[in-house]
Structure 1
Amino acid sequence: MKLSELDPDTLSREEITTLMFHDTIDDYQTGECILVFGAKTIHRVIKAADLYHDKRAPKILVSGSAARWGENEEPEAIWMRDRLVELGVPPEDILLELEAANTTENVLASLMVLQRSIGLNRINRLLIVSSPYHMKRCHLTLTTYMPDWISYSFCSDDRESGQRNNWWKDEREKARVMKELQSIQRYVKDGILKDGDVRR
């Protein structure tokens, strides 16, 4: 069955878990850069810093504008950079993307930053950091817009609730997962994300 053909309201908890979390488990490989999708949440920053200090990748790219917070607000990428520096990441190892206002733009705008700073031809693997519920959309967006030779390690943040094994136990995290599933399906139907077969 195609992703666009699913009816989220008929899926069991096990089917939703497989759909939303199966392809986004960390494989513990190393890469050329850690890409952090924009948000002013410390969970993602701590995860990125841990990956950097574990020598999983030599650079961190933080992506995100101030669009969701207001014109006079600090961009997400600047906020994340400052927290990373506080966590011991050298500023020269942090790349900034300051234009993106959503997940699709995170990927598209990061392409240019990666090209200019590293060279896309030199990138074999990116480590992807976001919230657990957001990782499936990150995966689909990356595979829709990024060069097909790049591989990914999906390193969701380490929050206690909202993980593969407990997302349904917290009402807030459960609502996030269900909203994300509906959004993903809408983006697929609109042609923003590639459609594809799903494992159920």
Structure 2
Amino acid sequence: MSQGAHVPEHQQRLITDEQFHDATLIWNHHQMGHELRPCSAAIGLGSHDLGVAGTAAGLYRAGLFPIVVFSGGNSPTTRARFPRGEAVHYREHALSLGVPDEAILVEPKAANTGQNIVLSRALLAEAGVAVESLLLISKPYMERRSYATCRKLWPEAEVVCASEPLELDEYINSIGDEKLVIDMLVGDLQRVIEYPKLGFAVEQEVPRDVMEAYERLVRAGFDSRLVTT
């Protein structure tokens, strides 16, 4: 290779190609692949990822919903980045992208996905918004878990999931920590598997190849986001 030539992305990884393949299987499984369509309202689920608010702004401009709830307080992983709370910072970002203030509701207390849904539902009802269909906007790897949570806690609403359209490589580059990203993918899949038993979400089938990839990554130490069950 000549000096200064571009090094292919896969050669820059610290993880193995097999681990990246396993992570990609899980990444793809987390995304619901829903066809986007107009909905009664949207919920932007709070997290460390400002891309949720950016995606919400784009979908609002595309006419997919008339009002969005940004939901989220703080967590140990977001307090430094969003000191005024996830929902507040999401609102500010969406305003900077042209979403009018009257199209935004802020729910600043939720500390988990269940609370995102329950508190946003109450806020929409208080605002007099009749919800038949709901666009859930989340991080790319959180679509499936947010869908399962909403189907459990708000079964009357038709749920459509959306996220920033990124490939795993692109998302890792945006976060800058491949180990952390894969830990988060693994942790979210554990919740998809375990939370139905706890009454937090509806049950969903996990394909065998995805389950085997999950088990290999857990054994390899991608486990910092696992919860005790």
Q: Give the TM-score of the pair, scaled to structure 2.
A: 0.68
Question: Structure 1 residues 180 and 118, CA, compared in 2 at 3 Å: closer, same or farther?
Answer: same
In the alignment, what sits opposite 1:114? 124
**Helix, strand or coil at the partner of 1:99:** coil
In the alignment, what sits opposite 1:128? 136
Pick the aligned partner of 2:183 from 168, 175, 178.
Answer: 175
Deviation at 1:17, TM superposition (A): 5.9
In the alignment, what sits opposite 1:91? 101
Pick the aligned partner of 1:47 from 38, 43, 55.
Answer: 55
**After superposition, what is the alpha-carbon deviation per residue over 1:85-112, rounded to whole angstroms, capped at 9, x for unaligned?**
1001111110111110111111111110
Report the aligned-residue RMSD.
Answer: 2.7
Q: What is the number of equivalent residue pairs in this alignment?
A: 178
In the alignment, what sits opposite 2:158? 151
CA–CA separation in structure 1 for the residues paired with 2:57 and 2:185: 25
Unaligned runs of 5+ in 1: 1-11, 164-169
Segments of 4+ moved more than 4 angstroms: 12-19, 196-200
Higher relative contact order (CA 8 A, sep 6+): 1
Letter in structure 2 aligned against 1:58: P
Deviation at 1:188, TM superposition (A): 2.3
Larger deviation, residues 189-198 vs 38-47:
189-198
Provide the identity percentage: 24
Deviation at 1:27, TM superposition (A): 1.0
Deviation at 1:161, TM superposition (A): 2.5
Unaligned runs of 5+ in 2: 1-20, 171-177, 209-229
Deviation at 1:116, TM superposition (A): 1.0
In the alignment, what sits opposite 1:81? 91
**After superposition, what is the alpha-carbon deviation per residue over 1:108-154, rounded to whole angstroms, capped at 9, x for unaligned?**
111101111134xx2121111111111111011000000x3311221
8 Å CA contact 1:161, 1:173 repeated in 2: no
Deviation at 1:178, TM superposition (A): 1.5
CA–CA separation in structure 1 for the residues paired with 2:45 and 2:204: 23
Question: Structure 1 residues 195 and 41, CA, compared in 2 at 3 Å: closer, same or farther?
Answer: closer
Are residue 104 (structure 1) and residue 114 (structure 2) matched? yes
8 Å CA contact 2:193, 2:204 repeated in 1: no
8 Å CA contact 1:35, 1:63 repeated in 2: yes
CA–CA separation in structure 2 for the residues paired with 1:81 and 1:139: 22
